[in-house]
Amino acid sequence: MRATLLCMGLAVLAAGCATLDRQPLAFSELAYAGADGAAWAARALPLPALQAAEGLATPLTMHAVEAGPAEGPPVVLLHDVGGYASVWRAQIASLAGAGQRVIALDLIGHGKSSKPGAFS
């Protein structure tokens, strides 16, 4: 009886968590924005030399978020393994607010940067 109730409870939870009518968002569709909701200036940086060195057929790009005054002293933020530029949300706002030029990178294979399968 306990096992049956447990299975029924898990089935109800699983059904409530799953949506069959739409696919999950890909990173390329997510907006990178600060805690206030304002979108960050972002760009894709092409890496043709690295693409050639790795012998990759598809173009490599590294995604970068920029905030703060262009003439401010630069601060470059790099995420850890498994992270992406948005993990620095609070620091980006704080540093940019203090007049720093903030550049937060999505390393290759993370966030909105290229995700080549054979890259090491």
CATH classification of the domain holding 74: 3.40.50.1820
Measure CA of the first residue to CA of the last residue in the chain; give whole Å. Answer: 51
State the DSSP code for 82: T
Q: How many CB atoms lie within 10 A of CB 84?
A: 22
Q: Is residue 1 part of a domain?
A: no
Q: Is residue 2 part of a domain?
A: no
pTM: 0.69
Q: What is the mean pLDDT of residues 17-35?
A: 63
Distance CA 105, CA 40 (A): 12
Domain span including residue 47: 25-120
Q: Is residue 4 part of a domain?
A: no
Is the per-residue pLDDT at 95 higher than 60?
A: yes
Q: Is residue 12 part of a domain?
A: no
Interval 28-76: pLDDT, tens: 566 788 778 888 888 899 999 998 998 888 889 999 999 999 999 999 9
Q: Is residue 15 part of a domain?
A: no
Q: Is residue 11 part of a domain?
A: no
Close Cβ partners of 2 (under 8 Å, ≥ 6 residues apart): none
3-state helix, strand, coil in the chain (%, to 5): 30, 20, 45
Q: Are 105 and 61 within 8 A, CB to CB?
A: no
The first and second tokens of residue 67, run together, are 């905030």
> Can you give the pLDDT at residue 77?
93
Q: Is residue 57 part of a domain?
A: yes
Q: Is residue 110 part of a domain?
A: yes
- Structurally, the chain folds into a number of domains equal to 1
